[in-house]
């Protein structure tokens, strides 16, 4: 009887959390028919708790060392480009070593390109010969090895999947990849759509739990308002195969029904510095911003410089303060090695997170909105004040009715003096050396 009662209470609790979350994540507009599963809603919370992921762009383009858009940028004939597959033999690829390097940054998940715009698949796909197993001398299923390494090392695996294709002739040509020698008259949407769905089925069947599918390329037909990607059916397929798998789409517009998180490319939510977020609104969905460590490209680029530790920390904190995850991109070389500079920066970020991770992981954007001085994050009874630009020795925080128990410097637990003023507190910011993020921890009763 007691057991039955507990079960009943638990079921009640779960359904009420479910109802609350459903309300929270409901998308506006007439197209809001999608009802996420309980496991999906739970996955959204866990996703937000992770806060930091590593993005990996790797493929045939890595051989040319000019970024992942080289096929388009240089108008290479796609058949000629495909010969690169004969040279794809990454003798230094070691999935476990990659995961160790990524984990050294403090990140909790990785999102890896399974197939980018060039059409080459880095996994064992039965529906194309243009994959790592059949077209290359390497003949090892990269996604299999990564999925095993991730499972072993408790690191979550997410998949990037390109909607657009610069090689296949059944793909209806969009505004990119027009110089790759395809015969546009052979476009066959049904065939292409079937191909994508078959591949997604493979990805969601053969590699264990997949944290998210990260779609990209929708904008290739942005100039045709009537172009129909048939997203709803495809999203339903993904959720049928793995209900907890989150769907995100880098379409740069407001989320569609069926999506579980919203992403921003090279911008933090609410910003539009990269010029890609003009038509985007910040939704109630979990958020993720992606940036790249190599200045200017996602795939390996031989001539690019790298951003440094402070840049990454600034972006990570800026994202967390805007309630978003940061997805930091790394472009391994074609031989499977990761540039030493990348390894160095990741390690440095990881060491910073070992000390200050409590103010990032498991937090949500703080109730004090981003200011010119920085951002806030919050967790249980604590508000972390991240002073990214130390402008003044006094800081006013509008905490409302909340009763402040203490304010401390996160680095050394030193108590900080504050006084109640109107609807908030005035904090005397202690003198300190210049640092990328000076963090104060405000605890409420
Ligand atoms: C863009 C690019 C693509 C990259 C992606 C990452 O959509 O087309 O190369 O994969 O951004 O955000």
Cα-to-centroid distance, 370 and ligand 1 (Å):
27
Measured from the Cα of 69, ligand 1's closest atom is 9
Write the pLDDT tens digit of every residue in 237-295: 999 999 999 999 999 999 999 999 999 999 999 999 898 988 878 999 999 999 999 99
Q: Is 173 helix (H, G, I), strand (E, B) or coil?
A: coil
- The pLDDT of residue 19 is 47
Which atom of ligand 1 approaches the CA of 217 most closely? Answer: 7
Average pLDDT over residues 141-147: 98
Q: Which residues of 290-325 are buried (b: 16+ CB within 10 A; e: fewer)?
A: bbbbbeebbbbbeebebbbbbbbbbbbbbbbbbbbb
Beta carbon of 437 within 6 Å of any ligand 1 atom: no
Whose CA is closest to atom 4 on ligand 1?
298
Tens digits of per-residue pLDDT, 328-370?
A: 999 999 999 999 999 999 999 999 999 999 999 999 999 999 9
pLDDT single digits (tens) 44-82: 999 999 999 999 999 999 999 999 999 999 999 999 999
Q: Is the CB of 250 under 6 A from ligand 1?
A: yes
Annotate 133-156 with b (16+ C-beta within 10 A) or e (fewer): bebbebeebbbbbbbbbbeeeebb
How far from chain centre, in Å, is Cα 4?
Answer: 41
The rounded Å distance from CA 203 to ligand 1 centre is 20
Task: Return the half-sphere exposure (C-beta side, CA atoms, 13 A cut-off) of residue 343.
Answer: 11
Which residue has the least CA distance to atom 10 on ligand 1? Answer: 298
Residue 68 near ligand 1, beta carbon < 6 Å: yes
* CB 262 less than 6 A from any atom of ligand 1: no
Residue 401 in this model has a pLDDT that exceeds 90: yes
Ligand 1 touching residue 290 (CB < 6 A): yes
């Amino acid at each position: 009887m007691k057991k039955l009662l507990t079960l009943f209470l638990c079921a009640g609790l779960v359904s009420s959390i479910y109802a609350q979350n459903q309300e929270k994540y409901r998308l506006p507009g007439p197209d809001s028919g999608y009802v996420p599963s309980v496991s999906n809603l739970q996955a959204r919370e866990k996703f937000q708790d992770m806060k930091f992921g590593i993005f990996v762009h790797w493929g045939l383009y890595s051989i040319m060392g000019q970024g992942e858009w080289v096929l388009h940028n240089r108008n290479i004939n796609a058949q000629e480009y495909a010969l690169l597959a004969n040279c794809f033999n990454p003798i230094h690829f070691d999935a476990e070593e990659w995961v160790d390097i990524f984990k050294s940054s403090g990140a909790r998940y990785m999102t890896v390109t399974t197939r980018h715009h060039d059409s080459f698949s880095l996994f064992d796909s039965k529906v194309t010969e243009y994959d790592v197993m059949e077209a290359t001398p390497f003949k090892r299923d990269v996604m299999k090895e990564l999925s095993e390494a991730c499972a072993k090392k408790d690191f979550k695996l997410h998949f990037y999947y390109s909607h657009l294709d610069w090689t296949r002739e059944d793909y209806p040509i969009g505004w990119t990849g027009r110089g790759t020698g395809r015969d546009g008259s052979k476009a066959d949407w049904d065939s292409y759509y079937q191909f994508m769905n078959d591949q997604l089925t493979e990805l969601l069947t053969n590699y264990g739990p997949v944290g998210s599918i990260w779609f990209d390329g929708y904008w290739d037909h942005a100039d045709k308002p009537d172009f129909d990607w048939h997203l709803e059916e495809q999203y339903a397929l993904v959720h049928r195969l793995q209900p907890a798998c989150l769907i995100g789409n880098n379409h740069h517009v407001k989320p569609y029904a069926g999506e579980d998180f919203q992403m921003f490319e090279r911008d933090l939510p609410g910003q539009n510095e990269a010029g890609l977020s003009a038509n985007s609104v910040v939704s109630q969905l979990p958020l993720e911003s992606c940036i790249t460590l190599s200045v200017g490209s996602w795939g390996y680029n031989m001539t690019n410089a790298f951003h440094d530790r402070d840049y990454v920390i600034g972006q990570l904190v800026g994202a967390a303060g805007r309630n978003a995850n940061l997805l930091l991109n790394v472009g391994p070389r074609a031989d499977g090695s990761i540039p030493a500079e990348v390894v160095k920066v990741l390690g440095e970020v990881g060491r910073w997170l070992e000390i200050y991770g409590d103010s990032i992981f498991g937090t949500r954007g703080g109730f004090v909105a981003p200011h010119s001085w920085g951002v806030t994050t919050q967790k249980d009874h604590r508000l972390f004040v991240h002073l990214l630009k130390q402008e003044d020795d006094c800081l006013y925080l509008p905490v409302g009715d909340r009763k402040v128990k203490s304010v401390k410097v996160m680095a050394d637990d030193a108590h900080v003096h504050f006084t109640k003023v109107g609807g908030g507190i005035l904090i005397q910011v202690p003198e300190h050396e210049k640092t990328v993020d000076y963090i104060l921890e405000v605890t409420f009763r």
